[in-house]
Amino acid sequence: MNDKTKPESRSDHRKARLADALRANLQKRKAQLRSRRTGEADTRPEGLAASKERKDD
């Protein structure tokens, strides 16, 4: 077997394994978010503007 072929297959296997793990993690997070929803939209301010407003209060 060629030395260059072996690391590529390991690298491809690792990339595929990491992609599967990432996909599973994202699905898990989405499921957690869905289970936490109460049905009402979140009305809290977001972003940097919201953090600046809190400091001024």
For the stretch 1-56, pLDDT in tens is 455 555 578 889 999 999 999 999 999 999 888 887 766 666 667 766 666 665 54
Domain with 15, as residue range(s), is 1-37
DSSP label of 39: S
Helix (H/G/I), strand (E/B), else coil: 22: helix
Dist CA 53 CA 44 (whole Å): 12
Judge whether 28 lies within some domain: yes
What global pTM score does this model have? 0.48
Q: How many domains does the chain have?
A: 1
54 within 8 A of 44, measured Cβ to Cβ: no
Amino acid found at 2:
N
Q: How many CB atoms lie within 10 A of CB 9?
A: 10
Judge whether 56 lies within some domain: no
